[in-house]
A and B are shown apart, each in its own frame.
Chain A
Amino acid sequence: MVGDLIKLIVKAPWSARFGMLVILVYAFVALFAPVLTPFGESEIVGSEFEPWGEGGFILGTDNLGRDMLTRILYGARNTIGIAFVTTCLAFLVGGIAGFMAAALGGWTDQLLGRFVDVLMAIPQLIFALLILTIAGTSVPVLIIVIALLDSTRVFRLARAVAMNIVVMDYVEAARLRGEGLWWVMRREVLPNAMPPLVAEFGLRFCFVFLFISGLSFLGLGIQPPTADWGSMVRDNATLITFGDITPLLPAGAIALLTVGVNFVVDFFLHETSGLRDDH
């Protein structure tokens, strides 16, 4: 297992290795944010908008006088953590529903499919804004709303992939044996649907991540004083008019992670699809 992993990393092109490095660094920062940061997450430590390097603030301070570097490191933890949990939930819900639709067919498929169509017919951002305004903007509500909206996309993919698997003879053999739906989905369909789903997981994670940042920027995402890259861009946006690029740092952090994840996903897709370059 570990040997396979090392072999995979050795074989990976530079883009994928770069992506893996970025993800590792982000994960490390997210896990150890309290140790790495000199100040508390929402601690006011200086005056507003201190420039870089002054008074021990490597990246200066923000609009309330909080240390920028500290906020960016904590932001990794909050934004990535919430995006990760949301994506996992979306895959759990969408994946199970999609597999069920494919395995059972008939009415189940119709009902689930049409319900998803209805959800998808409403623009995602507007729908999210609407529900968050009604239900309030706590973190659990945020996670559930975005996960449900995103699970519609996962449902579509999972159903399409599983459709091609449930017609295979080995699934028929399992049904003839008398296996239940859950076993067929978990042991026969899931392992064979993994490659496209994992690739989709990477992309979906980026979308969720951007979506949360977008919502935060609009003020309906992660609420202050929790550090979050999206709202940090908004809070410090005034600095841009003075030619200061500090507000772009959290935006850059978002962009870098997105690029990194996509590099790894591309590599993974190439590996598992068995595509061979023409000679």
Chain B
Amino acid sequence: MTTDSSGNGPGNGKDNDILLTMRGLRIEGQADEEWQEIVHGIDLDLRRGEVLGLIGESGAGKSTIGLAAMGYARPGCRISGGEILFNGIDLMAASEEEKRQLRGVRISYVAQSAAASFNPAHKLIDQFSETPVQHGVKPRSEAESDAKVLFRKLQLPYPDTIGNRYPHQVSGGQLQRAMTAMAMACHPDLIVFDEPTTALDVTTQIEVLAAIKDVVREFNTAAIYITHDLAVVAQMADRIMVLRWGDLIEEGTARDLLANPQDPYTRDLLAVRTFAKDHNGDEKAKTPLLAVEGVTASYGNSVRVLHDVSVSIHHSRTVAVVGESGSGKSTLARAITGLLPPEAGRVLYEGEPLPNALEGRDKEQLRRIQMIYQMPDTALNPRQRIREIIGRPLSFYFGLTGAEKENRIKELLTKIELDPDDFIDRFPGELSGGQKQRICIARALAAEPDLIICDEVTSALDQLVAEEILKLLQSLQDDVGVSYLFITHDLATVRAIADEIIVMLQGKVVEQGPKDEVLHPPHHEYTELLLSSVPEMDPDWLDGVLEKRRAANQ
């Protein structure tokens, strides 16, 4: 159990153990009819049975390199230079046919979104068997019995019959494990995992991580594990390569790199999430800014997603709502804004009841509650300039026009730390993810609201960028005294920014109170599960947690 990660270090392997070699790998991508280099000469060695972690933020080239290990470049990309040797076969020189023979049999791939990667029209077992049967590795009956063995190893429920289900009939975490099983179907020498747990909840992530780790170890499969989360890679990898903008920043065994990072960028990545707000004090006004009282809501007539939820938010405070996907936290936001009028219960604003439905509220009531979304890409109209996006609430709520409006837009842009003259006439497509989210914040601020509902605002961003956004939100709160209702599944974010925490499970509030109270034992058992599932940088963390849970179950 403890021998693997330290024992398999690069010093121990012999040269004939090397499975994959890349030398001076260069990959170009096409942008605006021009080829630009996006990976600048990467060297990589992978031994049999070794797990290599590729880590970096979006745009670091990690997925591109992962796919290059299969001799594949995405449409719009091309491998322009270097050498890729897989088991002595030169993938650059190999014909498409030869590569097709390797893929799925000797090298396989696990994609980030299993839900999007499975064909919804075929049963799991049919999709599992396709590769081995098509490649003539084994007959259908053998493939099916293999599938059951692998499903059991990956701890899927009902391993003997789950294969007869269609992809939409199993959960996201189960689908991700089924995809790992599929990748193992021909017992390949190498599996490329491309962010396999990024789309999953923490409590599901830990199960998938444990399953992948077990299977890879048992079959002595080499793996390239791609992720942006250092804590995850710490659990999985023997060796880690840190990438940025297509260059290698640092490389080392997992333990060395985490304990003793050399490059400043690696240190930044490790230090991420150390931000914490100052204690805001506990004095509260008598009447909360917003009070949700016994709200029950459902979609359509059948599915009830909120059961008797009561929440109160005070002036200049941040209330974090945590829970897994499906826990009803986003629905709570929709009930507050009036997009989904509650069936029972009411929403009070400074003691006055708000009309349930959006249509019943007046301009002033709408102005005082604003919202920021998870995906800044879809929250900004791609065909409007920043000037119009931020300017519209100004003219809509306050009737500002001309120079007055322009000055206010520039003032807001300065507040969110973007250069007004540079950004005011850009389209959202000309901004990075973090900048887009800043524009969303400015749009919300333009209405001068008392409460901003933040729905997973940092989940789609890289960690360093996310931290900057949290700092910005905090400084705005100190500055203008706005309250936040912060919806998230990420406990690190909660630790950083919350004053109070509400834990939700299946549409009910299971625990709520000031941050220190909720985060310190004794907790509700679900809070405990959530808290203990957040990966830590310690490479022994996963094994430790699993050990503890096993002991607790006996």
Which residues of A are at the interface with B, using a C-beta cutoff of 8 A? 168-170, 172-173, 175-179, 187-188, 191-192, 194, 276, 278-279
Contact = CB atoms under 8 A, between A and B. Distances in A.
B392 interface: yes
Given A176-B371, A179-B396, A278-B75, A169 B366 contact: no
A277 to B, nearest CB: 8
B339 A170 contact: no
Contact of B378 (A170, A187, A191, A278): A170
B279 interface: no
B386 to A, nearest CB: 13
A175 B371 CA distance: 11
Interface residues of B, number: 30
B366 A177 contact: yes
Given A170-B379, A176-B366, A279-B73, 13 more contacts: A169-B375, A170-B378, A170-B381, A173-B373, A176-B370, A177-B366, A177-B392, A177-B397, A178-B396, A187-B381, A191-B381, A191-B384, A194-B383
A87 to B, nearest CB: 23
B384 A187 contact: yes
Contacts of A188: 381
Contacts of B363: 178
Interface in B75-92: 75-78
Given A170-B380, A187-B384, A192-B381, A175 B78 contact: no
Interface in B378-432: 378-384, 392-393, 396-397
15 contacts: A169-B375, A172-B339, A173-B371, A173-B443, A177-B397, A178-B361, A178-B363, A178-B367, A178-B396, A191-B381, A192-B382, A192-B383, A276-B75, A279-B75, A279-B76
A146 to B, nearest CB: 31
Nearest to A175: B358
Contacts of A173: 371, 373, 379, 443
A259 B378 CA distance: 37
A239 B163 CA distance: 72
Contacts of B383: 191-192, 194
Contacts of B30: 276, 279
Contact of A177 (B75, B381, B384, B396): B396
B276 to A, nearest CB: 29
B337 interface: yes
B448 to A, nearest CB: 13
B447 interface: yes
Contacts of B393: 177
A4 to B, nearest CB: 13
Contacts of A279: 30, 73, 75-78
Contacts of A168: 378
B167 to A, nearest CB: 23
Given A168-B378, A169-B373, A169-B378, A176 B384 contact: no
Contacts of B76: 276, 279
A212 B192 CA distance: 60
A187 B383 CA distance: 9
Contacts of B382: 192
A170 B367 CA distance: 16
Nearest to A179: B396
B213 to A, nearest CB: 36
Contacts of B373: 169, 173
A172, A179, A191, A194 pick with most chain B CB within 10 angstroms? A172
A161 B96 CA distance: 38
Q: Top 3 A-B pairs ranked by shortest CB distance?
A: A191-B383, A169-B379, A178-B366
B376 to A, nearest CB: 9
Contacts of A178: 361, 363, 366-367, 396
A270 to B, nearest CB: 13
Interface in B29-85: 30, 73, 75-78
A276 B32 CA distance: 10
B32 to A, nearest CB: 11
A279 B358 CA distance: 49
A176 B337 contact: yes
Contacts of B381: 170, 187-188, 191-192
A119 to B, nearest CB: 31
Contacts of A176: 337, 339, 358, 366, 370-371
Contacts of B75: 276, 278-279
A176, A191, A192 pick with most chain B CB within 10 angstroms? A176
Contacts of A169: 373, 375, 378-379
B436 to A, nearest CB: 11
A11 B339 CA distance: 46
Contacts of B73: 279
A276 B383 CA distance: 21
A144 to B, nearest CB: 32
A176 to B, nearest CB: 6
A177 B447 contact: yes
A173 B77 CA distance: 36
A60 B358 CA distance: 70
B358, B381, B383, B392 pick with most chain A CB within 10 angstroms? B381
